[in-house]
């Protein structure tokens, strides 16, 4: 597959704004990112490169400006390149996330093996780290869990390891759904069901716990369905937004739907939060 590289040079704005911009680029088809001294490079299948969509995203940035250059590059093994940049991580000395080519650490209580592919959810991003921490800190035993926007299935896998009864993993990207199927086998998991789609897949389903590591706008759109699909006293964990205005807006939206704010975490300006359904 032929790829294009878009080299972004940051002119105005901070790292947290760049992270938000990268998340928005992922929404329009960019699937791999590499930091540089002056910004970052983003990669996309050449056939999927839409410069008008890119310009629209650029115009929507507040306080963040970049210059960019598009470069067509030779075909290569992209998964192999991605693997070479994948390093294992350890979350709070409790959860070790590694690839198939890394050594195991049997002394760590929870170990997750991820076969690196060009999809999100390896634990390296701040939002995934915070969601993993929430799972580690809370009770999942015997619960039916939804992992919305599941990526590689990393959150679903840890929920299963924490003795969840059944996990429904949903993503709109078929690469992610395939990745979940492969990764659950690598981790000897049998109670994860993956599905291609979005919130329409859960209209007739009920859950004890919902995990949603997406972004603010999608969370705002999907909150009503989360509330309908969450059982009384059920728990909702969200991430993919920032502290301050984002959290305030999400709290107001959630509370209007019977979801009571419990707590939040912050890591490098990124934020995650926990809610409980009141009734």
Residue labelled with tokens 């970052």: 40
How far from chain centre, in Å, is Cα 148? 9
Per-residue pLDDT of the chain (279 residues; tens, 9 = 90+): 678 889 999 998 887 888 888 888 988 888 777 778 888 988 888 888 999 999 999 998 888 999 999 987 766 555 565 566 677 889 999 999 998 888 999 999 999 998 755 444 555 678 899 999 999 999 999 999 999 999 889 999 999 999 999 999 999 888 788 889 999 999 999 999 999 999 899 999 999 999 999 888 889 999 999 999 999 999 999 998 888 889 999 999 999 999 999 999 999 888 999 999 998
54-100 pLDDT, tens digit each: 999 999 888 899 999 998 776 655 556 556 667 788 999 999 999 88
160-192 pLDDT, tens digit each: 999 999 999 999 888 788 889 999 999 999 999
* CATH 3.40.50.150 domain position(s) in the chain: 86-277
The CATH class that applies to domain 3-76 reads: alpha beta
- Does residue 33 sit in helix, strand or coil? strand
Strands of the 32-36 sheet, one edge to the other: 32-36, 39-45, 3-12, 65-73
Domain at 86-277: CATH code: 3.40.50.150
H helix or E strand, kind and range, residue 88: none
* CATH 3.30.70 domain position(s) in the chain: 3-76
Cα distance between residue 279 and residue 275, in whole Å: 12
């Amino acid at each position: 597959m032929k790829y294009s590289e878009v080299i972004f040079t940051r002119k105005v704005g901070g790292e947290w704004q760049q992270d938000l911009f990268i998340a928005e680029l992922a929404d329009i088809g960019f699937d791999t990112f590499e930091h540089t001294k002056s910004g970052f490079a983003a990669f996309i299948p050449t056939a999927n490169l839409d410069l008008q969509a890119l310009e629209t995203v650029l115009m929507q940035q507040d306080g963040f400006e970049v210059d960019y250059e598009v470069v067509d590059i030779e075909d290569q093994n992209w998964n192999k390149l991605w693997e070479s940049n994948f390093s294992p991580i350890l979350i709070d000395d409790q959860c070790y996330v590694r690839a198939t080519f890394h050594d195991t650490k049997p002394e760590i209580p929870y170990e997750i093996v991820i076969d690196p592919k060009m999809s999100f959810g390896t634990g390296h991003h701040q939002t995934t780290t915070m969601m993993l921490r929430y799972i580690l800190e809370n009770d999942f035993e015997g619960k039916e869990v939804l992992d919305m926007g599941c990526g590689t299935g990393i959150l679903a896998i840890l929920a299963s390891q924490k003795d969840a009864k059944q996990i429904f993993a949903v993503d709109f990207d078929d690469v992610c759904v395939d990745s979940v199927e492969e990764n659950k086998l690598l981790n000897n998991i049998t109670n994860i069901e993956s599905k291609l789609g979005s919130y329409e897949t859960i209209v007739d389903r009920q859950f004890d716990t919902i995990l949603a590591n997406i972004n603010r706008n999608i969370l705002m759109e999907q909150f009503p369905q989360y509330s309908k699909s969450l059982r009384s006293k059920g728990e909702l964990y969200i991430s993919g937004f920032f502290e301050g205005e984002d959290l305030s807006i999400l709290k107001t939206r959630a509370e209007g739907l019977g979801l009571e704010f419990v707590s939040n975490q912050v890591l490098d300006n990124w934020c995650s939060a926990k809610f409980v359904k009141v009734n």
